[in-house]
Amino acid sequence: MGILYLSLYLIALGTGGLKSSVSGFGTDQFDEKDEKEKIQMANFFHRFFFFISTGTLLAVTVLVYIQDEVGRSWAYGICCISMLIAIVVFLTGTRRYRYKRSAGSPIVHILQVVVAAVRKRKLQYPWDDAAFLYEDSPEASRIQHTDQFR
C-alpha cells in the first residue's frame, strides 16, 4: 500500500511541476510588448493545452488498449520512446531559448506574505464593503454588455 501512495504522490508532484514550469518557460519565450509575439503567446497556450489534453486522451485509451491486447512492455516502451523524443526536441532548441532572470527567491516572497498575515491577524475589518475594494474602476472602463451570443 505504501508503494501505491508513493506512486500517486510522485505523479501529482511531477504533473504539478511540469505544467507550472512549462507554461512559465513558454511565456518567457515571447515579448509581451510586441503585438505579433503577443498573438504567438496566445497560440502557444492554445497548442500547449491541446497537446496536453490529446496526450492524456491517448494515454488512457490507446496505451491502455495496447497494454491489454499486446503487452505491458510495449505500452511502457512507447511511453519511454515518446519521452526520449520529447527530451531530444527540447534539448535541440536550447541555444534559441530566451532566459529571464528571476526577480528573487520565491521562498522569500512566500515568507513575506506569511509574516504580513501573522502581523495583521488581529486587525478589525471595516463595516463598509467599499473599503475592501483595492481599485474601483470608473464606468468608462467597463465592458459594455451585448446580445451577440443570445
* CB-CB contact of 87 with 65 (8 Å): no
Q: Which residues, 6+ apart, have CB-to-CB distance to 100 below 8 Å? A: 28
| Stretch among 26-35, 117-126, 130-139 having the lowest mean pLDDT | 130-139
* CB-CB contact of 23 with 30 (8 Å): no
141 pLDDT tier (thresholds 50, 70, 90): low
Alpha-carbon gap, residue 76 to 66, rounded angstroms: 10
Residue 31 φ then ψ, to 5°: -95, 115
| Domain ranges within the chain, ordered by starting residue | 2-96, 106-133
**28-47, pLDDT tens digit by residue?**
888 888 888 888 888 888 99
31, three cell numbers: 515579448
Q: What is the pLDDT of residue 94?
A: 87
Rounded to the nearest integer, the mean pLDDT of the chain is 84
**HEC states along 27-65?**
HHCCCCCCHHHHHHHHHHHHHHHHHHHHHHHHHHHHHHH
Alpha-carbon gap, residue 24 to 17, rounded angstroms: 11
14, three cell numbers: 511531477
**54-67, pLDDT tens digit by residue?**
998 999 999 999 99
**140 vs 149, higher pLDDT:** 149
Is the model's pTM score more than 0.85?
A: no
- Asked whether residue 114 carries a pLDDT value surpassing 90, the answer given is yes
